[in-house]
A and B are shown apart, each in its own frame.
Chain A
Amino acid sequence: MPVANIQVSETPLVLYTLRRADDALILGHRLSEWCGHAPMLEEDMALSNIALDLIGQARELYSYAAKVEGKDNDEDKLAYLRDVRQYRNLLLVEQPNGDFAQTLVRQFFYSAFADLYWRAMMTSRDATLAAIAAKSEKESAYHLRHASEWLIRLGDGTDESHARAQAAIDHLWAFTGEMFDVDEGERALINAGIAIDPGLLRGRWLQTISDVVSEATLVLPQNNWMQQGGRTGRHSEHLGHLLSELQSMQRTFPGLTW
């Protein structure tokens, strides 16, 4: 018998927290797909370690979302018993791993943002979010360094690695705009000092990535048309496939525990 999806009462703070939790879980899951497949042992460990950090962040955020919601939900139900349209993550993080360059560029765009975002969130008036931010910003800084060093190595490497890194940047660029979007509910949280305005980080984010991309002898696309949808549950086809794997155990054996 199929397991019913849970319902979540998405007040602005619950929705806000779920969005960040979903970003971290989906990107963490994507990276975990590299476990045992990375181009070298060191990278296998690196990508798995970053996945672990992100899934740890997701657990804290889900637990908090469940607490704020105050119903029967918990971190596991939020992760395992919501369907595609209930997920609120950025389209960027659900994009497939592709080749190593595509994985690294996806990580680079996200970590450069997360590093700035979580550092700014440390001033949140919400004590739990500020505490999660303080942990996450340290981890993000490390993730950014890892991705930046690789991007430079790939861009400034062989013709093949250069071409693949450039193709990855061109392909993923349209998914970066969504990171800076804010809806009405989130605007209210920003005005209340609970969330911060990501739009204010765009200049510094662009500066960080431009510096690295230029050192990597690569270029950023001039086209600034941006794709949207993840924050309101309109996803690319890739997320459904990812969730079918992520959720298969709980959907097949409801309530299964170790």
Chain B
Amino acid sequence: MVSVLERDSELRTRAWAAAASVVDPEIPVLTIADLGVLREVVLDGDQVEVKITPTYSGCPAMNIIALEIELALERAGFRHPKVRTVLSPAWTTDWMSEDGRQKLRAYGIAPPQASSSRRALFGAQAVACPQCGSENTELLSEFGSTSCKALWRCKSCREPFDYFKCH
């Protein structure tokens, strides 16, 4: 006979795995677990509540991510799952997994650098080109195609690329 504790632990693992399978709609190589958006899965009896945190206050992907989590949990057999958005502690790119960083680079997006330079008003950054690896790159625009990215260009291979902003 399986004890209640073992059953709960197994359920939670299954719920986490289902939620963690959801990908960012804008960067489909990254799961919300890679991003650090998935914070916690809470089990109360058979009721699951998933806590997520937004990358940026106005990120339009959050609504679809919440919906996808509900669908993934329903598919995994959880009924009426809840998704709750938590703001504190505030999301930071430091939470991105090493695996996530490598997947980003392979996808052609330069991963975020360490957060220590974020406060510098005009900080000089060296962002390596995800295509050729050269550090001879330049910033084209502080803002890119989504809230979380900036637009850069490699002066060695001449290719433009997205940089996942340090936040």
- Interface positions of A (Cβ within 8 A of B): 28, 42-43, 45-46, 49-57, 59-60, 127-128, 130-132, 134-136, 138-139, 141-142, 144-146, 148-149
Contact = CB atoms under 8 A, between A and B. Distances in A.
A46 B90 contact: no
B167 A130 contact: no
Given A55-B58, A148-B121, A148-B122, A138 B90 contact: yes
Contacts of B122: 145, 148-149
Q: Is the interface of B mostly helix, strand, loop or mixed?
A: loop
B141 A52 contact: no
Interface of B: 54, 56-60, 86-91, 118-119, 121-122, 140-145, 147, 151, 165, 167
A127 B86 CA distance: 11
A135 B145 contact: no
Contact of B57 (A128, A139, A145): A139
Contacts of A45: 141, 143-145
Contacts of A134: 87-90
B140 A42 contact: yes
A174 to B, nearest CB: 26
A53 B56 CA distance: 7
B57 A53 contact: yes
B58 A54 contact: yes
Contact of A135 (B57, B121, B140, B142): B57
Chain A interface SS verdict (over half):
helix
A210 to B, nearest CB: 13
Contacts of B140: 42
Contacts of A131: 86-88, 90
28 contacts: A42-B143, A45-B143, A45-B144, A46-B141, A46-B143, A49-B143, A50-B143, A52-B60, A53-B56, A53-B57, A54-B57, A54-B58, A56-B56, A57-B58, A59-B58, A60-B57, A131-B86, A135-B54, A135-B90, A138-B90, A138-B118, A139-B56, A139-B57, A142-B167, A145-B122, A146-B142, A148-B122, A149-B142
Given A52-B58, A53-B58, A60-B57, A141 B119 contact: yes
Contacts of A145: 121-122, 142
A144 B142 contact: no
Given A131-B87, A144-B121, A56 B142 contact: no
A68 to B, nearest CB: 16
